[in-house]
Amino acid sequence: MKKLIDYTKILRSKNAGPLFITFDLIFNTKEDMEYVEQRLKKSDISRAYGVSEEKIDIISYGVVNSIKITFPRKNISGSLADNDIYGCQQHIPLANIII
C-alpha cells in the first residue's frame, strides 16, 4: 500500500483566490499520472477534507503529467476561524490517501 504522495514529484496546496483551495499533483511519468488518475476517488478526498463530492473538481493536465484538484474553502482565507491564510499547508490529508 502506497500513499498518494509516494507517486508524485510535486504535491502542493495553495489558494486559488481566497475562496478556493487547489492542489497540484505533478508526476514523473505519464504512467504514474494515469495510475493515480484511475484510482483516486472523490469519496476519499471528500472524507479527508469533509467536503461534499459534488464540490470537488478533478482535472488532468497531461501536458506536464499532472492532476489538479480544486474545491471551495469552508473557512475562506482570513476569516476568523481560518488557520492557513495562503492555503499552502493543506496538502497532508491528500498526501496520505492510500492508492
* Binding interface with another protein (CB under 8 A): 14-20, 22, 24, 26, 55, 57, 59, 61, 63-64, 66, 68, 70, 72-74, 76-81, 83, 85-86
Query: In 3-state terms, what secondary structure has residue 69?
Result: strand
Residue with smaller CB distance to another protein, 24 or 90: 24
Distance from CA of residue 65 to its chain's centroid?
A: 15
Residue 79 CB-density burial (10 A; 0-12 exposed, 13-18 middle, 19+ buried)? exposed
Residue with smaller CB distance to another protein, 6 or 17: 17
Beta carbon of residue 87, minimum distance to another protein (angstroms, whole number): 9
CA-only gyration radius of the chain, Å:
13
Residue with smaller CB distance to another protein, 16 or 48: 16
